Chain A
């Protein structure tokens, strides 16, 4: 850019700066510094006349660097960058010096020293400005489509919102059907409406929506590219049924002789080897489970094949892979229950009559293993007493530290299930705190605690034992009454702690997003940006960001969808000005930079027989970690190069001229 020509502008900021130091003296000082062509002071640099002044100077004096000594760059850097742009200069040739917050506001009582400091800072800025250069902002068009991973209520809501906004949506669900945990619930608190009745219409909407393609029984196996232009590889697991031919009539499932534990019933009921997750499954397309199918295990049967009216059964199906190109990704993979066998003192898995809350949902559901009757699993008898244990594994340093956020309300709902199925049953609720914080929850709690034969015991059993008749005995100290109680219960329901899905970790690594100590996806900001991630273009919906009940899940999912819509409709993504740039001549390809980059923006590539670091300009967030790490100085960060920083620092170390 040839000869360096600097203009320096000292702002009075009314009395904010001018009332403490003498800006004209600072300008006078600056005018003598190297390559400074013009230096002025003015009452309000940010006012239109102030801006005009700079703009005209740039043109008249052919300036190619501008220094504004005024307030914080947080305040007016964009303003003055605008001035440079208007005058035809690259905005990154601007340098701001904060002589208000850093000088006059903090050193008001020592004006002489304050002025000295202002001069030193201006001097350092001038030395740094010698090395400023033009920075190019890269722009990439955005692919106007989105991938939603996980088809629970969060994924369903997000997919519908995106699709309704005209965006093409691919919904990837790992199970046979979308619906998630909500489909497994019998009723929903606090209103007790039938869960499937409010969920399945939405599932059907998803299936019918022209902008939504569902890939069920599928999983994401690779994610590359970056915000606005992700390439996603999806594995369609073999279902052994050609879904394009299948009409969902279900004849095949009727005659299948093989039985398997039904996942949808949390292992309580059975299903066939060819099955739908549940009758209202979407898509209504069955899958064959080769672990149980007699053809796969024994080489016999093929009954389904004979029954299928359209010849859709295909025992030879293999994995298939598809590639999707999307601009944004919404992660909605939900949660799983913490493995209750780990809470060994309660005997889940050892005693038949200790079950989880989700299993109780299945017992209570008319489509469940007992057609909606709540029974003891050991002998099928109606329970006379049921104990519901809250915080099973939650808020526990040895298990899960955090609160599951819906166990309390679920427990209250579960009282209702028991009393509805066995009205004369006694229910003991063993709680530590009842957290009924949601809208209508406290009222719901009041209603249920008003019922007869419902006992709220403030205490936690420590060890549960099995009596000879299969019922469960335990002691619990009730701090409400101050008594140690011995309880015998026919059924113990554990409101289990909640964790991210088992396979989440590998997906999270593919997506390159961080996690919180509990393993859930980490949001960009816990309060202000709870549905965004540190990765641009990747959003979070529902319980994968942390346990959530349905109202919160839906609100979260809708917010994620809105954010994704906003992102996609901008049409393009911009790189940060503070990009990392590689001097390829110096780079040895050691890869240290790539290992420290928190955004996975650096790749080491083979080029001309050697290894060179390459920066993905969209992924790079300009954090500078790589530049600080690079042993050869090949990696530099725009606007903060070694030369720029060193000249500024050595100017400061040497003092004002």
Chain B
């Protein structure tokens, strides 16, 4: 069935905001050589993950369908696509921009990522220090390993405020 491009929701607002976010990289320059996908770590394990397709959908303005799918969160940020793209599109930068756009438009990132972000806000690090198990099932902690205790980051209160503003209502 043929579906008109308009019907597929070309979203100019999304497109413009991605273009702005990825400057100086220009998704429009992509000529679909798929070198990025040949390089991509995620593509090797997730068949439906294709950075060149993400760029193609983006430059067509078909961004909503991309955000709906949630696939952008599979990127390992290995930066291989950015390294090898002959047109300096740097798909990884496009993907980061899409993630930012998704969050700003109310899409929910993976739960673990939200948890990390909350910890950064509250503790200054992605996690509190945890207890770890050795192969022999002994439990170790910073204290038991004689490592100095962790302190809150410098000016934590104001940092918290700034971060909350930037990260929005997670």
In-complex A–B contact (CB below 8 Å): yes
Chain A interface residues toward B at CB < 8 A: 345, 391, 395-399, 432-433, 458-463, 474-479, 484
Contacts of B47 in A (CB 8 A): 484
Closest CB-CB distance, B75 to chain A, in whole Å?
A: 15
Q: Which of B33, B36, B39 has the most CB of A within 10 A?
A: B33
Do A398 and B33 touch across chains, with their CB atoms under 8 A apart?
no
Question: Which residue of the partner chain B has the closest CB to A393?
Answer: B86
- Once A395-B31, A432-B33 are accepted as A-B contacts, the answer to whether A476 and B86 lie under 8 Å apart by CB is no
- Once A432-B31, A462-B80 are accepted as A-B contacts, the answer to whether A474 and B86 lie under 8 Å apart by CB is no
Contacts of B87 in A (CB 8 A): 396-397
Closest CB-CB distance, B22 to chain A, in whole Å?
A: 15
Contacts of B39 in A (CB 8 A): 462-463, 475
B43 close to chain A: CB less than 8 A: yes
Do A484 and B33 touch across chains, with their CB atoms under 8 A apart?
no
Q: Which of A345, A397, A459, A462 has the most CB of B within 10 A?
A: A462
Do B43 and A477 touch across chains, with their CB atoms under 8 A apart?
yes
- Once A395-B31, A477-B43, A479-B52 are accepted as A-B contacts, the answer to whether A460 and B88 lie under 8 Å apart by CB is no
A506 to B38, CA, bound (A): 40
Do B35 and A462 touch across chains, with their CB atoms under 8 A apart?
yes
B108 close to chain A: CB less than 8 A: no
B32 close to chain A: CB less than 8 A: yes
Contacts of B86 in A (CB 8 A): 391, 395-399, 460
Contact of A462 among B31, B36, B50 (CB under 8 A): B36
- List the 10 closest pairs (A to B, CB-CB), nearest first: A462-B39, A396-B86, A477-B37, A460-B35, A462-B38, A477-B34, A432-B33, A460-B33, A462-B84, A397-B88
For chain B residues 20-56, which have a beta carbon within 8 Å of chain A?
Answer: 29, 31-39, 43-44, 47, 50, 52
Do B38 and A484 touch across chains, with their CB atoms under 8 A apart?
yes
Question: Which residue of the partner chain B has the closest CB to A394?
Answer: B86
Chain A binding surface SS class: loop
- 4 more A-B residue pairs beyond the given contacts A432-B31, A459-B35, A484-B44, with a C-beta to C-beta distance below 8 A: A396-B87, A460-B35, A474-B38, A477-B50
Residue interface mask B68-108, A partner, CB < 8 A = 1: 00000000000010011011100000000000000000000
Contacts of B31 in A (CB 8 A): 395, 432-433
Do B88 and A484 touch across chains, with their CB atoms under 8 A apart?
no
Closest CB-CB distance, B110 to chain A, in whole Å?
A: 24
Closest CB-CB distance, A433 to chain B, in whole Å?
A: 8
Do A484 and B43 touch across chains, with their CB atoms under 8 A apart?
yes
Closest CB-CB distance, A172 to chain B, in whole Å?
A: 37
Question: Which residue of the partner chain A has the closest CB to B32?
Answer: A479
A397 to B88, CA, bound (A): 7
Question: Which residue of the partner chain B has the closest CB to A484?
Answer: B43
A120 to B36, CA, bound (A): 65
Contact of B38 among A398, A399, A433, A460 (CB under 8 A): A460
Question: Which residue of the partner chain B has the closest CB to A345?
Answer: B84
Do A459 and B33 touch across chains, with their CB atoms under 8 A apart?
yes
Question: Which residue of the partner chain A has the closest CB to B86?
Answer: A396
Question: Which residue of the partner chain A has the closest CB to B39?
Answer: A462
A395 to B89, CA, bound (A): 13
Contacts of A458 in B (CB 8 A): 34
Contacts of A477 in B (CB 8 A): 34, 37-38, 43, 50, 52
Closest CB-CB distance, A563 to chain B, in whole Å?
A: 36
A272 to B142, CA, bound (A): 71
Identify 11 residue pairs between A and B in the complex whose beta-carbon atoms are under 8 Å apart, listed by A's number. A345-B84, A391-B86, A395-B31, A459-B35, A459-B37, A460-B86, A476-B34, A477-B37, A479-B34, A484-B43, A484-B47
Closest CB-CB distance, A323 to chain B, in whole Å?
A: 47
Contacts of A478 in B (CB 8 A): 34
Contacts of B83 in A (CB 8 A): 345
Do A476 and B88 touch across chains, with their CB atoms under 8 A apart?
no
A402 to B29, CA, bound (A): 14
Closest CB-CB distance, A374 to chain B, in whole Å?
A: 25
A462 to B85, CA, bound (A): 8
Contact of A484 among B29, B32, B37 (CB under 8 A): B37
Closest CB-CB distance, A428 to chain B, in whole Å?
A: 13
Closest CB-CB distance, A401 to chain B, in whole Å?
A: 10
A285 to B74, CA, bound (A): 65
Closest CB-CB distance, B130 to chain A, in whole Å?
A: 36
Contact of B84 among A433, A463, A484 (CB under 8 A): A463
Question: Which residue of the partner chain B has the closest CB to A463?
Answer: B39
A477 to B91, CA, bound (A): 15
Contacts of B52 in A (CB 8 A): 477, 479
Do B35 and A461 touch across chains, with their CB atoms under 8 A apart?
yes
A475 to B40, CA, bound (A): 9
A475 to B86, CA, bound (A): 17
Closest CB-CB distance, A498 to chain B, in whole Å?
A: 16
Contacts of B34 in A (CB 8 A): 458-460, 476-479
A432 to B84, CA, bound (A): 15
Contacts of A391 in B (CB 8 A): 33, 86
